[in-house]
Structure 1
Amino acid sequence: MGSSAKSSAVPDPTASWPSLFMPGALAKDVSIVDCTLSDGTETSCYEITVAGTPADHEVGPFCPRTTTATEEEVGIWLDGENLYDVTGEFILDLPSIYNDDEWMLHDGHGHVHVTDTREAFEAAARPDVAEEYENYCVEGRMEWLEDGEPVTTTVQIPVSPVRQDDATPARAPLGVSFNGVRIDAAAPVDAILGAHTIAAFDDCGGHVNPFEGYHMHAATGCGEVGEAPDGETAPFAVAMDGYLIHGVLDSEDIGKVGDLDACNGHTTGEYGYHYHARSPELNGVLTCYMGATVKGGPGGPPGRGGPGGPPPGGEGPPPHDHN
C-alpha cells in the first residue's frame, strides 16, 4: 500500500484546515466567497482549487505487463467486496475469481493486454467500452490528458460546517485531499467488470480518466497529515460539507472509539466531528454527509446540482457502516 509524508502536529479542530494542504497541492491560493448551502443557510465558503496531481507521491503504477508481475510492480483493484494486488497471478486467476471463463486479459504467452496508447485509453475508459478493448487492463497516463496537464478541480466548502438532522447521499466530488486530489464517488465496478476490464488503481487508491484526470476512489493511508492519538487515524481530506475525513479505522480502533454514525463519523475532543474513510475494498470513501453542502455546487444533494450518480445502495441514506 502507498505511504506519504506526514506533518508532525495533530491538527486543532478549531484551526483553519486549509493550512493542512501540502506544498504543491493547490493550483491557486484559497479564497473566501459568499455562498448558500443546501439548507438555505447564507454563509462563507472556502473556494479551493486542487492541483489534480498528488503532492506527496508519484502517480501509478497500475497494470501489470506480464503474467509474472509481482505486487511491487503493480497497483490494486477493488470491487466492493475484496481488494487485490493486480499481479500477473491475479490476471491469470480472473476466470476463477469472477466465475467467468470469458476473462482473458493476456495473450497466452505471458503478455497482458494493457491500454498503452492514448487512443486505446480513451476508447476503454468510458461506460461503453469499445469492443476491441474488452479483456484489457485499463490505465491512463498523466501525459495523455489534454495538453499533458493535470485536471484541476475547484470546489466551495463551508468555512463553518452546518450539521443537519438527517444524512444526505454524497455526490462526486466527495471532497478534496490535502495532497491535492479530487475524491470521486464509487467507481462503476459493475460496468467495468461487465466489459471484462480491470480499471486498476495505484496503491493510493487513485487512477486516471480523460475527464477528471487523476482522482481517488479509496483511502489507503496516502496524504495523511499529523500523528493521530491512540485509537484514531490522521486526517487526509475535507468533505464537501466542511468536515474532515480521516483514515480508515481498523477493528481494534473501532472497539476503542465505539460506534460510528450512518456516515462513518463521530466526535472526539481532539478533532470535533469528523468522518472516517470506509475500508478501501468497499469502493467509495464516503456514502453520505451529515453537514450541508453548497447549493448548486458539485458534490451537492440530488436536485441541487452536482454531477455523479447515487452512492451504492440507492438514493436514500446508506445503512450503518463502520468501514
Structure 2
Amino acid sequence: MLSVVAFFASSCSSPGTSSDATTTEASATATQSVAASTGIDLTLFKAGAVVGDPSTVDCTLSGGAETTCYEITISGYPTDHEVGPFCPETITTGADKAGIWFDGEGVYDLDGEFIANLAEKYNDSGWQMYDENGNVFVTDTAEAFEAAARPDVDPAYQNYCIEGSVDYLENGEPITSTVLIPTSPVAAAAPSEPQGNQGVTLDGVIIAASAPVDAILGAYTIASFDDCGGHFNPFEGYHLHGATGCSETGTASEGETAMFGYAMDGYPVHSPYSEAELANVQLDECNGHTTEAEGYHYHANSAAKNQVIQCLVGQTVAGEGDGGGPPAGGVPAGGAPGNN
C-alpha cells in the first residue's frame, strides 16, 4: 500500500491537525565539535529500500538554515532479512522461536519462560498471559491485532502478547513513508531531543520514537519485537525501536561499528558499542563522535534503553507536517499513549 506520509523529526501530528516544530533543547552541550559531513550517500541504501527515485527539494531547517533536502520514500519493510518471530506459542517455547522485549531497563528473550514469569518480573499478580495448558494468548488474527495494538486496548485483549504481520495491514502490503532529510547536515546551535521519528535504516525501515512501554505494560500487554528490534502497528506497519545489529552495510573501520541508517538531521547512525568497547571510546552527549575514516556520526543506544538515537546535533526540517496517523511509536500528537 502506498500511504505516503511526510515525517519531520521536529514535528509529528495526527490526522487533520498540525503542530509547530516540537524539537526541544537538550540540557547540555555536546562535548565534541561536529565535523562537516559529505552528506547522505543514496547509494548506501539497499536494493528495494527506497521506492521510486529520491528528489531534491528546497527546505528550511529548525535553526532557520535554508538548504536542500532529499525527499525519500522508504519501503516500510526490511529488504535484507526476514521479519519475526515475535511471540512464543507456549510457555515452553525457546528463545530461538520467539523475539525479544525491552522496557528501558533491559533486553529480554521473549521466550515461554519470560511469559510464565511476568507476574514476578513486574511484581503484579494481574499478569496471566497463558491458559491452563500453557498456550500463550497471542493476537493471531488481523481483528485481534487491531483491537490490541492501539491506544485504547480492547479489554478483551489484556494479557495478550501482541504481534503483527504484513498480512494484517491494508491490502496485505507494507506501509511506505516519505521523509525529508537535509542533503548535507547543518549543525544546530545546541543538541536537541528527537521528537517523533528519529531516522531511517538503510534497508527501508523508519527508526521510530521510543515505544510507550508504561502504557503497554499498564494494559497487561507485551508489544513483542523481533530480534532486530522492530515490530508492527496498524498505522505505520513495521518500524524500529531498538538497534541490535541488523540493517548494517559494509564493514566497520578499526575501532568502529557498522553504519545502519541516517538520523533525521542527515548524520549517519552506527550500531551500538558493547559495554567493553564503550570503555575505550569518548562519545559526546548524543553518543556521537568524529573519526578520520567516518566523519561525525552517532552510535545507537543499546536496545535496552528503548531509544535508538540519544539526541540530535544537527538541524532538522522545520515546519508543519500532517502525519496521516500516529507516529510509528504509536502515540497520536496530543492523544493517549499507544501500544506499539
Say if 1:53 and 1:214, in contact at 8 Å, map to a contact too.
yes
Say if 1:35 and 1:294, in contact at 8 Å, map to a contact too.
yes
Which of 245, 252, 268 pairs up with 2:291?
A: 268
Q: In structure 2, the residue corresponding to 1:65 is in which secondary structure?
A: coil
Aligned counterparts of 2:163 and 2:328: Cα–Cα separation in 1: 21
Asked if 1:199 corresponds to 2:223, the answer is yes
TM-score for the superposition, normalised by structure 1: 0.87
Letter in 2 for 1:138: I
Letter in 1 for 2:110: V
Change (3 A) 1:307 1:217: closer
Asked if 1:65 corresponds to 2:89, the answer is yes
Say if 1:172 and 1:184, in contact at 8 Å, map to a contact too.
yes
Aligned counterparts of 1:168 and 1:252: Cα–Cα separation in 2: 27
Equivalences for 1:17-32 in 2 at 5 Å?
A: 17-32=41-56
The Cα of 1:15 is off from its aligned counterpart by 6.7
Partner of 1:245: 269
Say if 1:173 and 1:299, in contact at 8 Å, map to a contact too.
no
Partner of 2:131: 107
Say if 2:236 and 2:328, in contact at 8 Å, map to a contact too.
no
| Deviations 1:82-139 (CA, angstroms, capped at 9, x unpaired) | 1111111111111111111110000021100000111110110012111010000001
Partner of 2:98: 74
Which of 158, 161, 168 pairs up with 1:144?
A: 168
Change (3 A) 1:126 1:164: same
Say if 1:21 and 1:179, in contact at 8 Å, map to a contact too.
yes
Q: With a CA cutoff of 8 Å and minimum separation of 6, indicate the structure with the bigger relative contact order.
A: 2
| Deviations 1:114-172 (CA, angstroms, capped at 9, x unpaired) | 00111110110012111010000001110110111101111011111111121111022
The Cα of 1:287 is off from its aligned counterpart by 3.2
Aligned counterparts of 2:188 and 2:264: Cα–Cα separation in 1: 14
Partner of 2:207: 183
Partner of 2:78: 54
Letter in 2 for 1:223: S
Say if 2:233 and 2:328, in contact at 8 Å, map to a contact too.
no
Which of 87, 93, 96 pairs up with 2:117?
A: 93
Change (3 A) 1:185 1:299: farther
Unaligned 5+ segments in structure 2 are 1-36, 332-340
Which of 139, 150, 157 pairs up with 1:126?
A: 150
Q: In structure 2, the residue corresponding to 1:35 is in which secondary structure?
A: strand
Q: In structure 2, the residue corresponding to 1:156 is in which secondary structure?
A: strand
Say if 1:171 and 1:185, in contact at 8 Å, map to a contact too.
yes
Aligned counterparts of 2:89 and 2:320: Cα–Cα separation in 1: 40
TM-score for the superposition, normalised by structure 2: 0.82
% identity of equivalent residues: 57
Unaligned 5+ segments in structure 1 are 1-12, 301-305, 312-323
Change (3 A) 1:102 1:264: same
The Cα of 1:299 is off from its aligned counterpart by 12
Say if 1:69 and 1:88, in contact at 8 Å, map to a contact too.
yes
The Cα of 1:62 is off from its aligned counterpart by 0.3
Aligned counterparts of 2:284 and 2:138: Cα–Cα separation in 1: 41
Letter in 1 for 2:299: H
Asked if 1:282 corresponds to 2:295, the answer is no
The Cα of 1:56 is off from its aligned counterpart by 0.7
The Cα of 1:254 is off from its aligned counterpart by 2.0
Letter in 1 for 2:213: V
Q: In structure 2, the residue corresponding to 1:215 is in which secondary structure?
A: strand
Aligned counterparts of 2:128 and 2:66: Cα–Cα separation in 1: 55
Change (3 A) 1:16 1:155: closer
Change (3 A) 1:240 1:299: farther
Change (3 A) 1:272 1:297: farther
The Cα of 1:307 is off from its aligned counterpart by 5.4
Q: In structure 1, the residue corresponding to 2:255 is in which secondary structure?
A: coil
Q: Say what the alpha-carbon RMSD is for the aligned residues.
A: 1.9
Aligned counterparts of 1:270 and 1:137: Cα–Cα separation in 2: 43
Say if 1:236 and 1:245, in contact at 8 Å, map to a contact too.
yes
Aligned counterparts of 1:88 and 1:292: Cα–Cα separation in 2: 44
Aligned counterparts of 1:308 and 1:209: Cα–Cα separation in 2: 7
Aligned counterparts of 1:19 and 1:251: Cα–Cα separation in 2: 31
Asked if 1:83 corresponds to 2:99, the answer is no
Say if 2:186 and 2:315, in contact at 8 Å, map to a contact too.
yes
| Deviations 1:49-103 (CA, angstroms, capped at 9, x unpaired) | 1100001111111001111111110000000001111111111111111111110
Q: In structure 2, the residue corresponding to 1:166 is in which secondary structure?
A: strand
